[in-house]
Structure 1
Amino acid sequence: MKKRVLVTGGAGFLGSHLCARLLNQECEVLCVDNFFTGMRRNIEPLLGEPAFEVMRHDVTFPLYVEVDEIYNLACPASPIHYQRDPIQTTKTSVLGAINMLGLAKRLRVRILQASTSEVYGDPDVHPQTENYCGMVNMIGPRACYDEGKRCTETLFYDYRRQHRLDVRVARIFNTYGPNMHPQDGRVVSNFIVQALKGDPITIFGSGTQTRSFCYVDDLIDGLTRLMNLPHDVEGPINVGNPAEMSMRELGELIISLTGSHSRLEFRPLPQDDPRQRRPDISRARQLLHWTPKVSLEEGLKKTISYFDALLANSREAEKLVWRFTQ
Structure 2
Amino acid sequence: MKKRILVTGGAGFIGSHLCKRLLAENNRVICLDNFFTGNKTNISPFLSNPDFQLIEHDITVPFEVEVDEIYNLACPASPIHYQYDPVKTIKASVLGANNVLELAQRTKAKVLQASTSEVYGDPIIHPQQENYWGNVNPIGLRSCYDEGKRCAETLFMDFHRYYGVNIKIIRIFNTYGPNMQKHDGRVISNFIVQALQGRDITIYGVGGQTRSFQYISDLLDGMIKMMATESSFTGPINLGNPCEITITDIAKTILKLTGSQSQLIHAALPPDDPAQRRPDISLAKTKLNWEPHISLEEGLKETIAYFRTIL
Q: TM-score surpassing 0.5?
A: yes
Which structure has the larger Rg over C-alpha atoms?
A: 1
Name the aligned partner's letter for residue 277 of structure 1: R
Correspondence for 1:295: 295
Correspondence for 2:206: 206
The aligned runs of 1:185-204 (5 Å cut-off) are 185-204=185-204
Q: Which range moved further: 42-51 or 227-236?
A: 227-236
Correspondence for 2:140: 140
Correspondence for 2:119: 119
User: After superposition, what is the alpha-carbon deviation per residue over 1:5-25, rounded to whole angstroms, capped at 9, x for unaligned?
Assistant: 000000000000000010011
User: After superposition, what is the alpha-carbon deviation per residue over 1:199-246, rounded to whole angstroms, capped at 9, x for unaligned?
Assistant: 001000000000000000000110011001134214300000000000
Correspondence for 2:50: 50
Distance in 1 between the 2:190 and 2:59 partners?
29
Correspondence for 1:108: 108
Correspondence for 2:152: 152
Distance in 1 between the 2:164 and 2:280 partners?
28
SS state at 1:83 partner: helix
Distance in 2 between the 1:302 and 1:46 partners?
21
Residue 30 of structure 1 pairs with residue 24 of structure 2: no
Distance in 1 between the 2:230 and 2:27 partners?
17
Name the aligned partner's letter for residue 259 of structure 1: G
Distance in 2 between the 1:98 and 1:230 partners?
23
Distance in 2 between the 1:24 and 1:151 partners?
33
SS state at 1:7 partner: strand
Name the aligned partner's letter for residue 11 of structure 2: A
Correspondence for 2:282: 282
Correspondence for 1:70: 70
Correspondence for 2:173: 173
Distance in 1 between the 2:241 and 2:18 partners?
18
Contact residue 169 and residue 234 of structure 2 kept, 8 A: no
Cα gap change, 1:276 to 1:195, in 2 (>3 Å): same
Structure 1: 4+ residue segments shifted above 4 A: none
Name the aligned partner's letter for residue 26 of structure 1: N
Name the aligned partner's letter for residue 3 of structure 1: K
Distance in 2 between the 1:231 and 1:59 partners?
25
Q: Which range moved further: 169-178 or 48-57?
A: 48-57
Cα gap change, 1:163 to 1:96, in 2 (>3 Å): same
Distance in 1 between the 2:165 and 2:87 partners?
28
Correspondence for 2:19: 19
Correspondence for 1:237: 237
Distance in 2 between the 1:225 and 1:241 partners?
16
Correspondence for 1:79: 79
User: After superposition, what is the alpha-carbon deviation per residue over 1:152-201, rounded to whole angstroms, capped at 9, x for unaligned?
Assistant: 00000000100111100000000000000100000000000000000001
Name the aligned partner's letter for residue 75 of structure 2: C
Q: TM-score scaled to structure 2, two decimals?
A: 0.99
Contact residue 175 and residue 214 of structure 2 kept, 8 A: yes
Correspondence for 1:41: 41
Aligned residues: 311
Correspondence for 1:225: 225
SS state at 2:84 partner: coil
How far did residue 253 of structure 1 move?
Answer: 0.3
Contact residue 167 and residue 234 of structure 2 kept, 8 A: no
SS state at 1:32 partner: strand
How far did residue 34 of structure 1 move?
Answer: 0.1
Distance in 2 between the 1:71 and 1:40 partners?
19
Contact residue 32 and residue 56 of structure 2 kept, 8 A: yes
Distance in 1 between the 2:190 and 2:170 partners?
25
How far did residue 47 of structure 1 move?
Answer: 1.3
Distance in 1 between the 2:41 and 2:232 partners?
36
Cα gap change, 1:46 to 1:228, in 2 (>3 Å): same
Distance in 2 between the 1:181 and 1:42 partners?
10
Distance in 1 between the 2:50 and 2:230 partners?
28
The percent identity for this pair of structures is 61
SS state at 2:93 partner: helix
Distance in 2 between the 1:213 and 1:233 partners?
26
SS state at 1:261 partner: coil
How far did residue 266 of structure 1 move?
Answer: 0.6
